[in-house]
Structure 1
Amino acid sequence: MHSSGCNGFLVGSSVMERSTQALLFLILLVCCAAMAASAKDLPAEEFGVSLAEKGHKHKHSGFSEAECPGACQYRCSKTAYKKPCLFFCQKCCFKCRCVPPGTYAHKEVCPCYNNWKTKRGGPKCP
């Protein structure tokens, strides 16, 4: 009886160890995913004025669909209406493969982005 009680405790302990290990693994996985997501946002700085100040050429056209979220994240970074800005910017980027440099204006460098209008005739792209 006494040994089975000890075995029961050891089994419970190993189950607890496994669940603790699983929890630590899950936390590690979440941290890695968060770091990967933030690393994906790092190139967004390349689309801003900081890159132009360094004398590098700004890449604003020829985006793949994977590059659009980062470019739009920077484009919409200073607006108070982030969700609609990101939605329409990404929609425009997916169609036009271009996002103007900076957080405002400069649409003339992306004619498709600049000329896409709403039904009312206003600008579709932020």
Structure 2
Amino acid sequence: MASSQQALVFSSLLVLLLAFYLAESRTVVIDSQMEMIGGNDEKSVMTNNPTIDCGGACKVRCSRSSRPNLCKRACGSCCAKCQCVPPGTYGNHAMCPCYAALTTRGGKLKCP
């Protein structure tokens, strides 16, 4: 009987840990989605941090780039204009529409 009680306590603990993990990860996603205000215009800004640390954000964004200096320079100019940088090292442009809308003179995406 003691073994079945221990198994029940252990499984209950695992379920609670899983629930906590899922709740915490959902909070992070919701917080990152709630930071953006505005639409698809170039004046969208982050509500929680109107003056973003572009250097730090671009360092993270360009950490896996094959040409990190070029990446940081392009990211920095995009961040200065849009005041946001998408999370992660690639993609996620929907999190910062202004950043995704900037193009070069040749029509290519400017921001990494």
TM-score, length basis structure 2: 0.58
Matches within 5 A, 1:7-26: none
**Runs in 1 of length 4+ with deviation above 4 angstroms?**
none
- Alignment-derived partner of residue 92 in structure 2: 106
List runs of 5+ in structure 2 lacking aligned partners.
1-23, 37-44
Which amino acid in the other structure matches residue 51 of structure 2? Answer: S
With a CA cutoff of 8 Å and minimum separation of 6, indicate the structure with the bigger relative contact order: 2
Q: 1:80 aligns with which of 66, 76, 98?
A: 66
Which amino acid in the other structure matches residue 101 of structure 1? Answer: P
Q: Secondary structure at the match of 1:99?
A: coil
Task: Mark the structure with the bigger radius of gyration.
Answer: 1
The number of residue pairs the alignment matches comes to 72
Q: 1:64 aligns with which of 51, 55, 76?
A: 51
- Alignment-derived partner of residue 16 in structure 1: none
Please say if 1:89 is aligned against 2:75. yes
TM-score, length basis structure 1: 0.52
The structure with more helix, counted as a fraction of residues: 1
CA–CA distance in 2 between the matches of 1:119 and 1:91?
A: 15
Structure 1 range deviating more: 56-65 or 76-85 = 56-65
CA RMSD of aligned residues (A): 1.8
